[in-house]
Amino acid sequence: MATAAALFSAGLSVQTAAGITVPPPPGVTTQPTSPVTQTSDISDLACGVLLWIFWLLIMFAIIMFFVGGYRYATSAGDPEKVQSANKTLLYAVIAVVVALCAWGVPTLIDSFLGGFNWTMLTSICG
Protein backbone atom coordinates (compact mmCIF):
# COMPACT_ATOMS: atom_id res chain seq x y z
CA MET A 1 0.00 0.00 0.00
CA ALA A 2 1.33 3.40 -0.93
CA THR A 3 2.13 5.88 1.79
CA ALA A 4 0.23 9.15 2.07
CA ALA A 5 3.42 11.13 1.35
CA ALA A 6 3.93 9.25 -1.92
CA LEU A 7 0.33 9.83 -2.96
CA PHE A 8 0.54 13.52 -2.03
CA SER A 9 3.75 13.96 -4.00
CA ALA A 10 2.02 12.41 -6.99
CA GLY A 11 -0.83 14.89 -6.61
CA LEU A 12 -3.40 12.30 -5.63
CA SER A 13 -6.02 12.53 -2.91
CA VAL A 14 -5.73 10.28 0.11
CA GLN A 15 -8.68 8.61 1.81
CA THR A 16 -8.33 8.02 5.54
CA ALA A 17 -9.57 4.99 7.43
CA ALA A 18 -12.56 7.03 8.58
CA GLY A 19 -13.55 7.61 4.94
CA ILE A 20 -12.47 11.26 4.80
CA THR A 21 -10.83 12.27 1.53
CA VAL A 22 -7.84 14.55 2.00
CA PRO A 23 -6.88 16.55 -1.10
CA PRO A 24 -3.23 17.08 -2.02
CA PRO A 25 -1.44 20.10 -0.57
CA PRO A 26 -1.65 23.40 -2.49
CA GLY A 27 0.77 23.66 -5.38
CA VAL A 28 0.94 19.91 -5.95
CA THR A 29 -0.47 18.96 -9.30
CA THR A 30 -1.08 15.63 -10.90
CA GLN A 31 1.67 13.84 -12.76
CA PRO A 32 2.27 15.28 -16.22
CA THR A 33 1.28 13.25 -19.21
CA SER A 34 3.57 12.67 -22.14
CA PRO A 35 3.62 15.68 -24.49
CA VAL A 36 4.25 13.33 -27.40
CA THR A 37 1.22 11.21 -28.20
CA GLN A 38 1.61 10.75 -31.94
CA THR A 39 4.26 11.15 -34.64
CA SER A 40 2.84 14.46 -35.83
CA ASP A 41 3.79 15.97 -32.44
CA ILE A 42 7.45 15.26 -33.16
CA SER A 43 7.29 16.72 -36.65
CA ASP A 44 5.43 19.80 -35.33
CA LEU A 45 8.15 20.39 -32.75
CA ALA A 46 10.92 19.93 -35.31
CA CYS A 47 9.03 22.18 -37.70
CA GLY A 48 8.80 24.99 -35.16
CA VAL A 49 12.47 24.80 -34.21
CA LEU A 50 13.66 24.67 -37.80
CA LEU A 51 11.45 27.56 -38.86
CA TRP A 52 13.03 29.67 -36.13
CA ILE A 53 16.46 28.64 -37.41
CA PHE A 54 15.37 29.48 -40.95
CA TRP A 55 14.28 33.01 -40.11
CA LEU A 56 17.31 33.69 -37.92
CA LEU A 57 19.64 32.58 -40.74
CA ILE A 58 17.75 34.69 -43.28
CA MET A 59 18.07 37.76 -41.04
CA PHE A 60 21.75 37.00 -40.46
CA ALA A 61 22.33 36.59 -44.21
CA ILE A 62 20.65 39.93 -44.98
CA ILE A 63 22.83 41.68 -42.42
CA MET A 64 25.93 39.99 -43.82
CA PHE A 65 25.00 41.01 -47.38
CA PHE A 66 24.92 44.63 -46.21
CA VAL A 67 28.21 44.23 -44.32
CA GLY A 68 29.85 42.61 -47.37
CA GLY A 69 28.52 45.31 -49.66
CA TYR A 70 29.78 48.02 -47.33
CA ARG A 71 33.21 46.38 -47.16
CA TYR A 72 33.30 46.08 -50.93
CA ALA A 73 32.23 49.71 -51.43
CA THR A 74 34.82 51.02 -48.96
CA SER A 75 37.68 48.77 -50.11
CA ALA A 76 39.03 51.48 -52.48
CA GLY A 77 40.64 48.80 -54.64
CA ASP A 78 42.72 47.30 -51.83
CA PRO A 79 43.01 43.58 -52.75
CA GLU A 80 42.88 42.43 -49.09
CA LYS A 81 39.70 44.39 -48.40
CA VAL A 82 38.11 43.18 -51.64
CA GLN A 83 38.96 39.59 -50.71
CA SER A 84 37.49 40.11 -47.22
CA ALA A 85 34.30 41.53 -48.74
CA ASN A 86 34.04 38.60 -51.15
CA LYS A 87 34.40 36.14 -48.27
CA THR A 88 31.67 37.95 -46.33
CA LEU A 89 29.33 37.76 -49.31
CA LEU A 90 30.20 34.08 -49.82
CA TYR A 91 29.38 33.31 -46.18
CA ALA A 92 26.07 35.15 -46.54
CA VAL A 93 25.20 32.94 -49.51
CA ILE A 94 26.17 29.87 -47.48
CA ALA A 95 23.83 31.05 -44.69
CA VAL A 96 20.96 31.29 -47.20
CA VAL A 97 21.71 27.75 -48.45
CA VAL A 98 21.74 26.40 -44.88
CA ALA A 99 18.47 28.23 -44.15
CA LEU A 100 16.86 26.70 -47.23
CA CYS A 101 18.01 23.26 -46.07
CA ALA A 102 16.46 23.95 -42.65
CA TRP A 103 13.21 24.78 -44.44
CA GLY A 104 13.19 21.35 -46.11
CA VAL A 105 14.20 19.23 -43.12
CA PRO A 106 10.68 19.03 -41.58
CA THR A 107 9.43 17.40 -44.77
CA LEU A 108 12.26 14.89 -44.55
CA ILE A 109 11.56 14.15 -40.87
CA ASP A 110 7.86 13.76 -41.54
CA SER A 111 8.56 11.34 -44.39
CA PHE A 112 10.82 9.22 -42.13
CA LEU A 113 8.08 9.09 -39.50
CA GLY A 114 5.60 7.83 -42.05
CA GLY A 115 3.29 10.81 -41.99
CA PHE A 116 4.39 12.32 -45.30
CA ASN A 117 1.74 12.68 -47.97
CA TRP A 118 2.62 14.17 -51.37
CA THR A 119 -0.75 15.90 -51.66
CA MET A 120 -0.15 17.68 -48.36
CA LEU A 121 3.39 18.86 -49.17
CA THR A 122 2.47 22.53 -48.90
CA SER A 123 0.70 22.13 -45.56
CA ILE A 124 3.77 20.86 -43.69
CA CYS A 125 5.10 23.66 -41.51
CA GLY A 126 2.56 25.95 -42.97
DSSP tag of 11: T
- DSSP class per residue in 16-51: -TTS-EEPPPTT--PPPPPS--SHHHHHHHHHHHHH
DSSP tag of 25: P
Q: What is the pTM of this model?
A: 0.53
Q: Is it the case that residue 68 has pLDDT exceeding 90? A: yes
Are the CB atoms for 24 and 15 separated by under 8 Å?
no
Tens digits of residue pLDDT in 5-61: 554 444 455 556 666 766 666 666 666 667 777 766 776 777 777 778 888 888 989
* 24-28, 97-101, 103-107, 122-126: range with lowest mean pLDDT: 122-126
Return mean pLDDT, the chain.
Answer: 74
